[in-house]
Homo-oligomer: A and B are copies of this chain.
Amino acid sequence: MTNTSTTLRESADHRLRSRAARVVPGGMYGHQRAGLFPANFPQFLAGGNGAIIRDVDGREFIDFLLGYGPMVLGYQHPAVEEAAARQRALADCQNAPSERMVELAELLVDMVDHADWAYFAKNGTDATTTALTIARAATGRAKILVERHSYHGAAPWCTPGVAGIQAADRENIVYFDYNDLASLRDAFAEADGDLAGVIITPFKHNDGVDQELITAEFAGALRTGCDAAGAVLILDDVRCGMRLHLGSSWRDVDVEPDLSVWGKAISNGYAVSAILGRESLRDAATSIFSTGTFWFAAVPMAAALATIAELRRIDGVGLQRRAGDRFKAGLVDQANAAGFEIAYTGPSQMPYLRFVDDVDHKLSFEFSEAALEHGVYLHPRHNWFVSTAHTDEVIDRALEGTGMAFNQLASAR
């Protein structure tokens, strides 16, 4: 799937970038700014189907980013699109929710052990922020423990940006480090007497560093510490949800959170997020006022119902694991054959490849650039994703591209 390059100035992408530079700050903003990628990555995309995406110049790529996670069944999945279309013909944005909301809440409560109720929002950030408010309402306390470099969204309390953010926005946040018991003990001590809760991702999936599964000891210390303090343990499953285990990403860790936060992959690309919680937090969740005009929209909830049904029907987690394992095995072989030492970390469904001794991610960028040239879309610093549309045949085609990319890097040395 080698793409014929158009020179930059002639490309539709370039023309759109010039127009965007006039009417969009910086030409683009946030995580979708092309400046975060090697130069050959497109700023604009035109469409996708299954595991394949297409840019505005007609180049096609096998995608391992999936809209930053949501497209767990692949783009344009028929069952999801049909369910969404059926609901859309009835209603979407209304004065009140549709029946779909009750069905989705019932499904999630049935599927997730610690969930006795569901509260829906729109973005991951809405939902993590609402979870903090619920923890504070439940405890009457202020402090939240947060892992130092984890991404929980882009609200003032958690954005990785600094511009425009005030000390007050983080006055009640206390930081610790992932899997570092001493730092956790210090954080619990610092918040002692005013601890509302702890928020943590199921594993350490921070950008640009090796991914780490949570240790049993650390998960246990989170649970014990929250129980001792009467605080709320919040699992931020926005990025991992529907990828490691449908029953929440800590299902195989012997710890249950009190609240969990979901988004991205629960609806295969439709905008909806959710907070799931224990019975003991129902009154607190009832007492807060967190809402939005579009939060109750019916179409994303219909899409979520169809997405989850399909993931159950086809063993979606198993298929993702199979695709991820195949990709990993191939990439590790290719790296070895080309003489590169790599660290391949994270669950294979959400892997991260780092070149050992790679200063400033230079090799990662070169590898992503070369892979894109050979038809494979790999983020240079963010974890990758596979979908259930990444069949053996798709993975093997992707490996052809990455094989050429590794060889290109090797011969450039």
Q: Which A residues fall within an 8 A CB radius of B? A: 16, 19-20, 22-26, 28-32, 34, 42-48, 53, 56, 63, 65-71, 75, 81, 88, 90-99, 101-102, 105-106, 109, 116-119, 122-126, 129, 132-138, 142, 153-156, 159-161, 163-166, 168-169, 171-172, 263-264, 269-271, 277, 282-297, 377
Are B122 and A122 within 8 A (Cβ)? yes
What are 12 A-B pairs with beta-carbon distances under 8 A?
Answer: A23-B117, A28-B97, A30-B289, A43-B97, A71-B93, A93-B270, A123-B123, A123-B293, A160-B289, A161-B289, A163-B287, A271-B271
A56–B101 Cα distance when bound, in Å, is 13
A135–B156 Cα distance when bound, in Å, is 13
Partner of A106 from B23, B93, B169 at Cβ < 8 Å? B23
Partner of A48 from B44, B69, B91, B292 at Cβ < 8 Å? B91
Contacts of A290 in B (CB 8 A): 29-30, 154, 159, 161
Nearest to A121 among chain B residues (CB) is B123
Are B269 and A93 within 8 A (Cβ)? yes
Contacts of A16 in B (CB 8 A): 99, 102
Nearest to A137 among chain B residues (CB) is B164
**With A23-B109, A46-B91 in contact, is A291–B30 under 8 Å at CB?**
yes
A105–B172 Cα distance when bound, in Å, is 37
For the complex of A and B, list the 5 residue pairs with the smallest distance between their C-beta atoms, beginning with the closest: A30-B291, A161-B289, A137-B164, A133-B164, A26-B286
A94–B56 Cα distance when bound, in Å, is 13
Report the minimum CB–CB distance from A238 to chain B (whole Å).
8
Partner of A94 from B53, B169, B287, B297 at Cβ < 8 Å? B53
Are B155 and A129 within 8 A (Cβ)? yes
Partner of A293 from B68, B94, B165 at Cβ < 8 Å? B68
A350–B43 Cα distance when bound, in Å, is 40
Given contacts A123-B295, A153-B292, 9 further A-B contacts (CB under 8 A): A23-B105, A23-B118, A25-B119, A29-B119, A44-B98, A45-B95, A122-B294, A155-B155, A163-B288
A296–B32 Cα distance when bound, in Å, is 8
Are A291 and B97 within 8 A (Cβ)? no
A154–B68 Cα distance when bound, in Å, is 26
**With A23-B117, A133-B163, A289-B154 in contact, is A123–B294 under 8 Å at CB?**
yes
**With A24-B105, A154-B291, A291-B29 in contact, is A70–B93 under 8 Å at CB?**
yes
